[in-house]
């Protein structure tokens, strides 16, 4: 006597049968799923505690300290007005150097947002509660026609 299959069991058997008959399609589906997950994880990594340029301006009006994490020559060529330069040699000790701002607003930026996003995560882990990353780095700031200071 054959056991009768219920609704979920029938669907599972059909799914397994489909996967056996169409391994290429199932493989492509798995590749697509992995690609979407990788894109989402990358996006979250680069946009950690991120803000748009307009939000950065509002935080600056509230007294936020702004730090440029780029190389010194890039900083000199043009930076956000009032931004301070945090040299690459200081990145490892940034939590110690910025400890007086632990409870104050901080905005970090770099060229593309990757370095500032990593630094934002690092400072959050060190107990900084109000540190933000300028989403996309200086590119969106320029694209929005926001001013840069030279020197």
Shared domain check, 39 and 99: no
DSSP of 4-66, one letter per residue?
A: PP-HHHHHHHHHHHHHHH-HHHHHHHHHHHHHHHHHHHHHHHHTTTEE-HHHHHHHHHTT-EE
Which of 51, 98, 110, 123 is flagged as catalytic?
Answer: 110
Check residue 141 and give its pLDDT. 95
Shared domain check, 80 and 11: no
Check residue 9 and give its pLDDT. 84
Check residue 1 and give its pLDDT. 45
Look up the pTM and report it.
0.70
* Residue-by-residue pLDDT tens, the chain, 151 positions: 455 556 778 888 898 999 999 999 999 999 999 999 888 777 666 556 789 999 999 999 999 999 999 999 999 999 999 999 999 999 999 999 999 999 999 999 999 988 999 999 999 999 999 999 999 999 999 999 999 999 7
Domain assignment of residue 55, yes or no: yes
Domain assignment of residue 1, yes or no: no
Quick one: residue 82, left, alpha or beta (phi over 0 = left, psi -120 to 50 = alpha)?
left
Domain assignment of residue 132, yes or no: yes
Shared domain check, 59 and 29: no
Here the CATH number for the domain that contains residue 97 is 3.40.250.10
Shared domain check, 62 and 125: yes
Domain assignment of residue 149, yes or no: no
Closest of 80, 79, 85, 51 to residue 67, by C-alpha: 85
Dist. CA 59–CA 132, nearest whole Å:
10
Domain assignment of residue 35, yes or no: yes
Domain assignment of residue 118, yes or no: yes
Shared domain check, 120 and 57: yes
110 is catalytic: yes
Shared domain check, 108 and 54: yes
Closest of 131, 101, 102 to residue 116, by C-alpha: 131
Residues of the domain holding 121: 50-143
Shared domain check, 131 and 59: yes
Q: How many domains does the chain have?
A: 2
């Amino acid at each position: 006597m054959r056991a009768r299959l219920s609704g979920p069991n029938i669907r599972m058997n059909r799914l397994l049968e489909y996967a056996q008959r169409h391994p290429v399609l199932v493989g492509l589906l798995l590749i697509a799923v992995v690609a979407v997950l990788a894109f989402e994880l990358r996006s979250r990594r680069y946009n950690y505690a991120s803000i748009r340029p307009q939000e950065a301006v509002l935080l600056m009006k509230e007294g936020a300290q702004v730090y440029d994490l780029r190389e010194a020559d890039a900083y000199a060529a043009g930076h956000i007005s009032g931004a301070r330069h945090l040299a690459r040699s200081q990145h490892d000790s940034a939590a110690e150097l910025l400890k007086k701002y632990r409870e104050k607003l901080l905005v970090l930026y770099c060229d593309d947002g990757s370095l500032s996003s990593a630094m934002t995560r690092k400072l959050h882990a060190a107990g900084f509660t109000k540190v933000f990353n300028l989403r996309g780095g200086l590119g969106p700031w320029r694209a929005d026609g926001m001013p840069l200071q030279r020197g």
